[in-house]
Amino acid sequence: SSELTQDPAVSVALGQTVRITCQGDSLRSYYASWYQQKAGQAPVLVIYGKNNRPSGIPDRLSGSSSGNTASLTITGAQAEDEADYYCNSRDSSGNHLVLGGGTKLTVL
Amino acid sequence: QVQLVQSGAEVKKPGASVKVSCKASGYTFTGYYMHWVRQAPGQGLEWMGWINPNSGGTNYAQKFQGRVTMTRDTSISTAYMELSRLRSDDTAVYYCARDRFPVGATTAADYWGQGTLVTVSS
C-alpha cells in the first residue's frame, strides 16, 4: 500500500479549474513532485519543489502544499491535460521515495 | 540533448533473473542519480530505488531489497537494474529516470527512458 493517497479519478469541464490532491504524513516535512502520464507514454515531470515547473510545462499547472496534503491545480483545463497524475515524495522515514496511486483526470 | 535509451523487451520464466540497461547520453553520467520505477499493466508507478553513478551507492525500496541490484558502468554511461527470483507479478514496464538535480536524490526526475517491458510467464 502507498504512503501517499490520491483519489483514483477526477473530472473537469473544459476550461474549468481542477485540483488533484495527494495526502500523506511525510508531506508535512517534504514537498511533492508531480508527474503527468498519458496513455502509452513515459511519465513527464510537471511540478517539483514548492511550485516549480520544468521548461515547457504550461503555467496553468501549479503546485501547493498545506499540512499533510499536496495539491496540483490546473487552471483552465485543456483537452491535452487529460492524463494520469502521480505525486512523488519521501516516505515517513525520509529514506526512500514513494509514489501515490495516481489520479485519472478526465476533461469533459 | 539528454537521452536515456533502455534495452529491449524480455520474456522470463518464474524464478529467473532479468537485467535491464539504460544508456545515457547528452550529459555527465556521473553527475546525476538514476532512479528505477516500474509500472505493472494497468497499474500505477512504483519506485524501486536509485543509484549514484559516481560512487555506485544505492538505495532500494524495502519491497525489493534482497531481489534487486542496481549497478553502473561509467565507461559506457550505462546504468543497470537486475531483478532476481522473478514472479508473475513482476510483469511490468521498467523505467530508468534521471534525477533533475546534480549529485543528490530528489523526487524530481526530469528525463525518462522509453521503458522496457518485462514479461514473466511459464
In B, which residues are within 8 Å of A101 by CB distance? 44
Contacts 24+ apart (CB under 8 A), B108-113: B108/A33, B108/A45, B108/A48, B108/A49, B108/A88, B109/A33, B109/A43, B109/A45, B109/B35, B109/B37, B110/A45, B110/A54, B111/B2, B111/B3, B111/B4, B112/A42, B112/A43, B112/A44, B112/B4, B113/A42, B113/B4, B113/B5, B113/B6, B113/B22
Nearest by Cα to B36 from B74, B76, B4: B4
In A, which residues are within 8 Å of B41 by CB distance? none
Instruction: Select the more confidently predicted residue: A94 or A9.
Output: A9
Instruction: Report pLDDT for A2.
Output: 58
Q: What average pLDDT does the structure give for chain B?
A: 96
**Which of A38, A45, A92 has the highest number of chain B CBs within 10 A, making it the mutation to test binding with B?**
A45
In A, which residues are within 8 Å of B100 by CB distance? 45, 48, 54
Instruction: Report pLDDT for B107.
Output: 87
Contact at CB, B45 and A86, closer than 8 angstroms: yes
Locus of grid cell 516535512? A29
Instruction: Report pLDDT for A92.
Output: 84
